[in-house]
């Protein structure tokens, strides 16, 4: 069976994950049966799907007709036989207990058609052990969605010991049909990829505080600002639920040994019922206190190396045991954990030898197994190479990490490729953007540049504040960050060829400042634009105070910046910022067609037109002089002759830039 043969999907379990997976499948066009053990559970899950679809329509993520059609594809059942009678794929999302899941699969085997593929959404339990309850272990695999499934792009596709390659390929294709990014986990290993990285990291953060080596504020400041992670370690534990990570850790401890012994700080919180945001208190107080207020300037280099060392050790264990390669691990953790960069890349940047030294010192001091560096990590340290240092690894690594580029039909397309972070702009992304613009400037095949953001949620939601502002309070570094953004974005403004910004979703702060440097801007109806810097006590620092008023006028620019409000695309079109507002569906191809119009223009004339207009911004006489000189130069070009010939022949010109 291949993905084209899949028509009906049954989801077992109507809880948060189950109804989310069912919604994703229905949105992808599949007939879905949502099943749970009680009518009230099923109805609650169905109601949540209906609510979510309506919210997506309300926000412009899809039309109301599409939302209604997706809901119509969802039916409900309590009887298991009825639920799976026509199922091509069954995705199980029942409670994360081995005994419960085994009972479900034992009963499921009695009712499911012979051709049905079984996929479990377990976040850590053994795929092999679960598959052996059935009579079809070769057609059984892990399909681990991340919460909430509607928003999170990652799906880990996990092989059990008996899983056939055809099954893995089918489930990967199915994930892609659902609009997700599958990452294959080649071996059944506790925690798979993302939890295998994140849960020991959470545990180590707790051990650091438990041992009195650092305060909770110091640990969270280090992880959030010095390491640039989306949340502090304790902040994240509270957000996810301390019990969730703790139960995964218990399983890893049981299977993998004492290196994964849960810290008493975690077990104590679970025993007391202080599980984080969902109970009102956890490591932070969300009822009577201020919640998670993480300081910017309490980071510790020792804490950073300790956490990075533990994380690198887990990466090395996965790579050395052929569970996944560094590129797959980095992709999974960036998507599933919303890391600004992958853990393998982070370890390489810190220096493998430095991290092994930190682990060895901790092992000498404590004797704890979790600090014993695995052999693969030691080998990397001794060779002086990182995870991407060898020839094989470097071949697998993409040319760029934070952007992607292609040239098609004369258009150089740059995609801000950090959808896990809403395409926020980091220092590393700016460096890559600068390199890509330079490359396109030298490429004669490129006649125009199109700039877009990956996914349909954001062109760019602004600066990656947590990574850029690491340490905080340094005026000199702040000035340099501002200048770097101004200079990098300025390359697009000064680019000799037309630059088009294709905006879909959020275009905020630094993202909007980047769009200002384009010559033309096209946006979807659902896009939201704004300069929220005043809400942070900042001002636009990447050219916004100068460029925005040139586009919309001084009064409008002050309104946009001072209010820090968000504006819809139609309003920004009325203000003159957006050239064209288009429908949400088929946006990327529409953006290409829009850019193609300008890629077919006369290159020499376009180049000098931009120069004349830009010179005229500051000095009218200067602009007029450039205009006159350019006008004279264009009289000598072959393009002018081609334009005249095309005009007199009533055909489209074919300009060559000569």
Catalytic annotation, residues = 123, 144, 156, 195
DSSP E strand boundaries for 428-514: 448-453, 458-460, 499-503, 506-508
Place of tokens 């992670």: 229
Residue 521's beta-bridge partner residues? 501
506: phi then psi, degrees, rounded to nearest 5: -70, 135
Rounded distance, CA 183 to CA 379, Å?
26
Residue 589 contacts by C-beta under 8 Å, 6 or more apart in sequence? none
Neighbours of 340 (CB within 10 A): 25
Rounded distance, CA 268 to CA 265, Å?
5
Q: How far is CA 325 from CA 322, 332, 566, in A?
A: 7, 11, 41
Order of strands across the sheet that contains 566-568: 458-460, 506-508, 528-530, 566-568
DSSP E strand boundaries for 473-519: 499-503, 506-508
Neighbours of 367 (CB within 10 A): 9
Neighbours of 18 (CB within 10 A): 27
CB 484 within 8 A of CB 504: no
CB 198 within 8 A of CB 245: yes
Q: Is 38 exposed, middle or buried (0-12, 13-18, 19+ CB in 10 A)?
A: exposed
Nearest partner of 517 among 536, 540, 498, 537, judged by Cα: 498
Neighbours of 620 (CB within 10 A): 10
**DSSP letter assigned to residue 263:** P
CB 567 within 8 A of CB 529: yes
């Amino acid at each position: 069976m291949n993905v084209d043969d899949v028509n009906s999907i049954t989801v077992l379990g109507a809880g948060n994950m189950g109804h989310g997976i069912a919604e994703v499948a229905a949105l992808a066009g599949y007939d879905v049966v949502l099943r749970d053990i009680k009518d009230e559970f099923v109805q609650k899950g169905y109601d949540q799907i209906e609510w979510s679809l309506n919210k997506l329509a309300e926000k412009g993520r899809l039309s109301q007709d599409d939302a209604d059609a997706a809901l119509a594809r969802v039916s409900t059942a309590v009887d298991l036989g009825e639920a799976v009678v026509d199922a091509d794929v069954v995705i199980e999302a029942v409670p994360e207990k081995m005994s419960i899941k085994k009972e479900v699969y034992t009963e499921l085997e009695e009712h499911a058609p012979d051709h049905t593929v079984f996929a479990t959404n377990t976040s850590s339990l053994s795929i092999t052990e679960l598959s052996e309850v059935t009579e079809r272990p070769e057609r059984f695999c892990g399909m681990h969605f991340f919460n909430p499934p509607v928003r999170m792009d990652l799906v880990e596709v996990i092989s059990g010991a008996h899983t056939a390659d055809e099954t893995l390929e089918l489930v990967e294709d199915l994930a892609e049909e659902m609009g997700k990014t599958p990452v294959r986990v080649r071996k059944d290993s506790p925690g798979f990829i993302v939890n295998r990285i994140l849960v020991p990291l959470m545990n180590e953060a707790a051990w650091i505080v438990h041992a009195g080596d650092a305060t909770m504020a110091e640990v969270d400041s280090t992880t959030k600002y010095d390491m640039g992670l989306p949340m502090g370690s304790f902040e994240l534990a509270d957000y996810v639920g301390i019990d969730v990570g703790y139960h995964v850790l218990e399983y890893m401890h049981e299977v993998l040994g004492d290196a994964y012994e849960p810290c008493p700080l975690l077990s104590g919180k679970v025993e007391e019922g202080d599980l984080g945001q969902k109970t009102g208190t956890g490591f932070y107080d969300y009822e009577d206190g201020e919640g998670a207020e993480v300081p910017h300037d309490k980071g510790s280099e020792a804490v950073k190396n300790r956490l990075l060392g533990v994380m690198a050790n887990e990466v090395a264990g996965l790579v050395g045991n052929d569970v996944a390669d560094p590129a797959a691990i980095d992709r999974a953790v960036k998507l599933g954990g919303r890391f600004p960069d992958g853990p393998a890349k982070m370890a390489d940047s810190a220096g493998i030898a430095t991290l092994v030294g930190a682990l060895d010192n901790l092992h000498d001091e404590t004797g704890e197994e979790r600090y014993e560096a695995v052999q693969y990590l030691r080998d990397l340290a001794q060779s002086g190479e990182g995870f991407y240092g060898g020839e094989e690894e470097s071949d697998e690594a993409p040319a760029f990490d934070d952007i992607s580029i292609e040239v098609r039909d004369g258009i150089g397309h740059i995609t801000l490729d950090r959808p896990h972070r809403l395409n926020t702009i980091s220092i590393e992304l700016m460096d890559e953007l600068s390199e890509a613009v330079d490359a396109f400037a030298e490429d004669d095949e490129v006649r125009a540049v199109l700039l877009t953001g990956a996914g349909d949620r954001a062109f760019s939601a602004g600066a990656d504040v947590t990574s850029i502002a690491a340490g905080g309070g340094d005026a000199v570094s702040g000035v340099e960050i501002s200048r770097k953004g101004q200079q990098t974005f300025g390359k697009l403004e000064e680019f000799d060829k037309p630059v088009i910004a294709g905006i879909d979703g959020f275009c905020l702060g630094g993202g909007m400042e980047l769009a200002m440097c384009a010559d033309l801007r096209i946006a979807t109806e659902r896009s939201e634009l704004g300069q929220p810097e005043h809400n942070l006590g900042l001002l636009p620092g990447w050219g916004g105070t100068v460029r925005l008023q040139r586009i919309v006028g001084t009064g409008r620019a002050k309104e946009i910046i001072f209010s820090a409000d968000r504006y819809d695309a139609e309003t920004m079109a009325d203000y003159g910022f957006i050239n064209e507002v288009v429908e949400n569906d088929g946006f990327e191809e529409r953006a290409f067609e829009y850019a193609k119009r300008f890629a077919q223009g006369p290159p020499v004339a376009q180049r000098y037109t931009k120069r004349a207009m830009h010179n005229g911004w500051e000095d009218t006489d200067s602009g007029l002089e450039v205009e006159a000189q350019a006008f004279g130069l264009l009289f000598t070009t072959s393009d002018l002759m081609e334009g005249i010939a095309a005009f007199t022949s009533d055909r489209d010109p074919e300009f060559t830039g000569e």
